[in-house]
Structure 1
Amino acid sequence: MTATFATLKDKYSVLLTLTQLAEILDRSPDGLRISLTTSRSAWARSINATKIHIGRRMYFRTEQIARLIDEEFSASNG
């Protein structure tokens, strides 16, 4: 378990809501929702790959989001 995942899991849970993900990414929930539905960029595809639906609600897997954050951080510092 990475430190990023441990931190996110402790603060949120194993699943993130769109609002929580927007908070983590420092974006507005509506802006993030629109970006994820209309953008064809690599980051949007990566985040959408973590998405699951439970009933009508949309969640994102915290572990995979943490992995994406870690990969982005290591790529920018690498």
Structure 2
Amino acid sequence: MDMDETKILIVGGSSGMGLALARRCLAEGSGVIIAGRNAARLNAARDELDRPAALATAVADISREAEVAALFARIGRLEHIVSTA
């Protein structure tokens, strides 16, 4: 699959399967946003992935509707959404 120029949101992307998927998508040329509740874990994941131009992080609790709405308002159009949370 050609992943160049795609934008992917991975909820729960700071560890485990979400982090592994973020790594793979970045390697395939996608722009990735990893979201989670813990800013420190997101920052550690960003440092580990080391792809500052293609990776963004977003602190959001997906159990809170207002935070989810604000997240989508900030990030705009996406091609894919993955939830590992």
Q: Same fold (TM over 0.5)?
A: no
Bigger radius of gyration, 1 or 2? 1
Give the alignment's TM-score, normalised by structure 1. Answer: 0.28
Structure in which a larger fraction of residues adopt strand: 2
